[in-house]
Amino acid sequence: MVAIGFGLVPCGWLLSLTSTVAPNWRSMHNISGEAPEVVVYQGIWHICKHSLDSSLVLCNHVYEGYFENEIIETAQRMMSASLLMTMVGMTVATFGVRCWTERPSWTGVCLGGFVIVCSGLLTVIPVAWYAHLLTDLESPPATVHMGYCITLGYLGGVMEILGGFVMFMSVWRYGGREPADGSPSHTQRGLTWMPCHGLPFFDLFTVTEIVGHGLVASEF
Q: What is the CATH number of the domain that holds 132?
A: 1.20.140.150
Segments forming the whole domain that contains residue 68 = 2-177
Residue 199: inside a domain = no
pLDDT value for 170: 74
Please state the domain count of the chain. 1
Per-residue pLDDT of the chain (220 residues), as tens digits, is: 678 888 999 999 999 999 999 999 999 888 887 788 889 999 999 899 888 877 778 887 777 788 888 999 999 999 999 999 999 999 998 887 765 556 667 778 889 999 999 999 999 999 999 999 998 887 778 889 999 999 999 999 999 999 999 888 876 665 544 444 444 444 433 333 333 344 443 332 333 333 333 443 334 3
pLDDT value for 35: 82
Residue 122: inside a domain = yes
Residue 206: inside a domain = no
Cβ atoms < 10 Å from Cβ of 5: 27
Residue 99: inside a domain = yes
Half-sphere exposure of 98 (CA within 13 A, CB side): 11
Torsion of CA 30, 32, 36, 39, to 10 degrees: -60
Contact between residue 205 and residue 220 where contact means Cβ atoms under 8 Å apart: yes
Residue 183: inside a domain = no
Assign 3-class secondary structure to 7-45.
HHHHHHHHHHHHHHHCCCCEEEECCCCCCCCEEEEECCC
Q: What is this structure's pTM? A: 0.74
Residue 220: inside a domain = no
**Spatial CB neighbours of 188, under 8 Å, sequence gap ≥ 6:** none
